[in-house]
Amino acid sequence: MKYSGLSGLKAAIVSLSLFATTSSVCASTFSVFASSSATIPADDNVTTTRQRSFAKTVPAGDYSGIAWLGGDKYAVVSDKSANEGFYIFTIDIDSVTGNIRNVVCEDFVECDKGNSDLEGIAWMPERGWILMCGERDNIIRAYNRNGKSIGVDIPKHIAHTNLPGNSGLESLSYNAATKRLWTCNEAAPITLVAYDDAFNIRESYSYAMDAPKKNGTKAAAYAHGVSEVCAMDDGSLLVLEREFYVPKAKIGSSVVCKLYRYNPSKQQKSLVEEWKTRLNLLARSLANYEGMCLGPRLADGRRVVVMIADSQSQYKGILKDWLRTICIE
């Protein structure tokens, strides 16, 4: 993630924690409502479920990427785990509504190297490989389900060779139907890159984000970029644009997420959904969504898109490891 004004999300959360501590004394003075608001979907057949956290069964983490392994199993990465590796989550999703009913962290699979600030994870079912990428070195690596390195050399696109340490590869998604592995860097200028299933670079596109809604130069902490992509069966991409804003007064801290469907061949995007979460005096719904993947189909044929937020290990007890789903054609 890229921030201006302060050095990273932890500084932002420090500011927020100070605000939350002092504001509890003033709760009777201010009337600020905590909410997670959503716009009307561009497609009437899109459903967004409410976000949920599962503190009793999911340890505090810095969850930054998620991949569906089939059934109710998911692989999840954290950008701050001591060693490179991935968690195995069981996520129970209602097959009619798409609501998340329960989440349990079952295991952590350690890999044979140090953590490279992992931000993305993908699953190649035909090979049984887990692919992961990190911002520290912007390298995509392949492992088996036991965490052993495959030793495959995945080349970098020229646009991803000299990225700043906190603005590097942020996303990873593989689609078995199209045989394409997609990644991109976080901050502008953003380049989307597609590999085939032999890891040859096949496509690359410049991606234009929406203009920011906030003035980041006046913020205590600020981030504006693409936090994740998700490769769809029809060759399109879901692209998650995220704007994180902490004002100097702290009241009104927010994360705005916009989910777009992007057509690479036409280089066009259409809004699927937009929502805003906030940190307020009465509740703490602020959610910095960084992980996204396709999940199972619902009874009506729609696909579930599963999202997970980075809470910076539930920093100071303020943030939560939120998850939510969006159901889409």
Q: CA-CA distances (angstroms) from residue 67 to 8, 42, 315? A: 25, 26, 24
Residue given tokens 């999202």 in the structure block: 307
Helices (H) and strands (E) in the chain, counts: 1, 20
Concatenate the DSSP letters of all residues of 285-313 into one string. Answer: ----EEEEEEEEEPTTSPEEEEEEE--TT
State the pTM of this model: 0.88
Residue 199 buriedness (CB in 10 A; 0-12 / 13-18 / 19+): middle
**Cα atoms in the Cβ-side hemisphere of radius 13 Å centred on 150:** 16
Q: What local confidence, expressed as pLDDT, does residue 37 receive? A: 38
Cis peptide bond upstream of 189, omega within 30: yes
List the chain pLDDT tens, one digit each, 329 residues.
544 443 444 445 545 554 444 444 333 332 222 334 343 445 669 999 999 999 999 999 999 999 999 999 999 999 887 788 999 999 999 999 999 999 999 999 999 776 678 999 999 999 999 999 988 889 999 999 999 999 998 999 999 998 886 778 999 999 999 999 999 999 999 999 999 999 999 999 999 999 999 999 989 989 999 999 999 999 999 999 999 998 887 778 899 999 999 999 999 999 999 999 998 787 689 999 999 999 999 999 999 999 999 998 997 888 899 999 999 99
Within 10 angstroms of residue 99's Cβ, the number of other Cβ atoms is 17
Torsion over CA of 55, 58, 64 and 66, rounded to 10 degrees? -130
From the list 4, 27, 9, 32, the residue with the least C-alpha distance to 80 is 9
- 132, 85 in Cβ contact below 8 A? no
- Report the SS3 class of residue 24: helix
Write out 173-219 in H/E/C secondary structure: EEECCCCEEEEEECCCCEEEEEECCCCCEEEEEEECCCCCCCCHHHE
Alpha-carbon distance of 142 to 75, in angstroms, equals 14
Cβ neighbours of residue 7 under 8 Å, at least 6 residues apart? none
Q: Write down the H helix ranges in the chain.
A: 9-23
Residue given tokens 């490891």 in the structure block: 321
Q: What local confidence, expressed as pLDDT, does residue 284 receive? A: 84
- Is 9-328 a domain of CATH 3.40.1130? no
Query: Rg of the Cα trace of the chain?
Result: 19
Cβ neighbours of residue 234 under 8 Å, at least 6 residues apart? none
Q: What local confidence, expressed as pLDDT, does residue 208 receive? A: 97
